[in-house]
Structure 1
Amino acid sequence: MSDREDFLVGEFPFVPKQERALIKRNALLESGHTLFISRGYEQTTAKEIAAHAGVATGTFYRYFSDKRQLLMSLLEDKLDKLLPPEPSWLSGDPQSLLASLLVAHNKRLNELGLHRVLPELALKDSELAEILGAARRKIHARILSSLKQASEKGLTWRDLDLDTVSWAIMVLVENSQEKEARTGKLADYQEISKVICRMVFPPEVLSHLRNIADSNGLKC
């Protein structure tokens, strides 16, 4: 955990060591996880988290100073998993590889579930917003770096503004989750990958990269 993430979590009122106390703390974490996802952060109270976990409200405050600290504990070391994956452009068929990455990313998000809570909290939590912003800039820099490598090899459109394209890729990926939540329909990551790759590569380059991937058994 980075120093900034440690700052977000803060100092716990009490850190349990005995098994019985650890079980209670874990029950509160699981309860908070369930209620934050089902009700939203603002609509969930510490009292409700405690009741759902089958413990007294006082027990909640024995382990956590407030519901924010509990949420940050759930997010500890997981912020990077909530952000868009870094595409690989040079090690196979870009479209198939990117689609596979997006499917795996979507699976991770749904398993964790907390990506639905972050936008709500970040609007009111400047420290969290700063951490998320820094993490997004880091992912953007990595995507931009990989695009530059592809561009240096003459694979991308010549007139691309790579910085803008890098941000566009992030927006497309991030909005796919929001679209799923609003429509109830699963995102088509093959189509999203197709749009992104057509934005980056001329058709003849994509075809060439696919042929190389097929001949080397690197389709996905």
Structure 2
Amino acid sequence: MPDREDKLVGEFPFVPKQERAQQKRNALIESGYALFNSKGYEQTTAKEIAAHAGVATGTFYRYFSDKRQLLMSLLEDKLEKFLPPEPSWAASDPESVMAALFESHYERLNEVGLRRVLPELLSKDSELAEVLGAARRKIHARIHDGLVQASEKGLTWRDLDLEMVSWAIMVLVENGQEKESQSGKKADYLEMSKVICRMVFPPDVLAEFRNSEKNKMGES
């Protein structure tokens, strides 16, 4: 998505080369990150970002055209981290493999932060919505292709609408942390994985996966 991201970020008013100026710009970025996370996008102003960074408001506009550009510079190269991972249907133990995949995904989300900002911005920023929408469609297509391959091997329920299942998997994974915040309980990635595997695989196929895994462990 680099070409689209360049368009989202736009051309900066000024890109500093001297170390002192770079430090001011970095301080503004760190300030924006902290305030966007704590207050949200709409409730944060350029003036507040500058004050939090210990610089004048005019300094903010020396480096960024507006607060959106600062946010986009924070999101640059990170947008795909907000998207659900592609499950592996070929693993001998899909439940455990998927659980580990989801855990890594949510750890990356926590590292990036800004989760409360994206939903707030998407309804008002058509360009960002278009970029994320295109990326989600690619992820959906890859999940769907994987399910088709598994179906061709006779691994899935025969009457499944694989396209619908692909979207259901994405919705479940994308909202995993929302469930955690509402219930107050830490997300159980293995349980999430089990739900998906039961949605995709008949009981006899899951039993075969487990037996295969047990045999591998016995051989080792």
The one-letter code matched in structure 1 to 2:37 is I
The one-letter code matched in structure 1 to 2:111 is E
Give the distance between the partners of 1:89 and 1:210, measured in 2 at CA: 14
The one-letter code matched in structure 2 to 1:104 is S
Structure 1: give runs of 5+ residues left out of the alignment: none
- Measured against aligned partners, the alpha-carbon deviations of 1:25-73 in whole angstroms (never above 9, x if no partner) come to 1111111111101110000011111111111111111110000000000
Instruction: Please state how far the C-alpha of 1:207 moved relative to its aligned partner.
Output: 1.8
The one-letter code matched in structure 2 to 1:90 is A
Give the distance between the partners of 2:8 and 2:213, measured in 1 at CA: 44
Give the distance between the partners of 2:54 and 2:37, measured in 1 at CA: 19
Instruction: Please state how far the C-alpha of 1:204 moved relative to its aligned partner.
Output: 1.4
Give the distance between the partners of 1:12 and 1:199, measured in 2 at CA: 47
Matched, 1:139 2:116: no
Give the distance between the partners of 1:211 and 1:23, measured in 2 at CA: 57
Give the distance between the partners of 2:62 and 2:97, measured in 1 at CA: 47
Q: Name the stretch that deviates more: 174-183 or 109-118.
A: 174-183
TM-score between both structures, scaled by the size of structure 2? 0.95
Instruction: Please state how far the C-alpha of 1:108 moved relative to its aligned partner.
Output: 0.7
The one-letter code matched in structure 2 to 1:105 is H
Give the distance between the partners of 1:64 and 1:92, measured in 2 at CA: 50
Q: Which residue of 2 aligns with 1:18?
A: 18
Q: Which residue of 1 aligns with 2:200?
A: 200
Instruction: Please state how far the C-alpha of 1:184 moved relative to its aligned partner.
Output: 3.1
Give the distance between the partners of 1:8 and 1:182, measured in 2 at CA: 32
Give the distance between the partners of 1:75 and 1:31, measured in 2 at CA: 14
The one-letter code matched in structure 1 to 2:86 is E
Instruction: Please state how far the C-alpha of 1:9 moved relative to its aligned partner.
Output: 0.4
Give the distance between the partners of 1:180 and 1:124, measured in 2 at CA: 26
Instruction: Please state how far the C-alpha of 1:152 moved relative to its aligned partner.
Output: 1.0
Give the distance between the partners of 2:50 and 2:92, measured in 1 at CA: 50
Q: Secondary structure at the match of 1:155?
A: coil
Alignment of 1:58-73 (within 5 A): 58-73=58-73
Matched, 1:173 2:173: yes
Q: Which residue of 2 aligns with 1:187?
A: 187
Q: Which residue of 1 aligns with 2:210?
A: 210
Alignment of 1:51-200 (within 5 A): 51-200=51-200
The one-letter code matched in structure 2 to 1:158 is R
The one-letter code matched in structure 2 to 1:140 is H
Structure 2: give runs of 5+ residues left out of the alignment: none
The one-letter code matched in structure 1 to 2:195 is V
The one-letter code matched in structure 2 to 1:200 is V
The one-letter code matched in structure 2 to 1:208 is E
RMSD: 1.2
Instruction: Please state how far the C-alpha of 1:115 moved relative to its aligned partner.
Output: 2.1
Give the distance between the partners of 1:17 and 1:188, measured in 2 at CA: 46
Q: Secondary structure at the match of 1:115?
A: coil
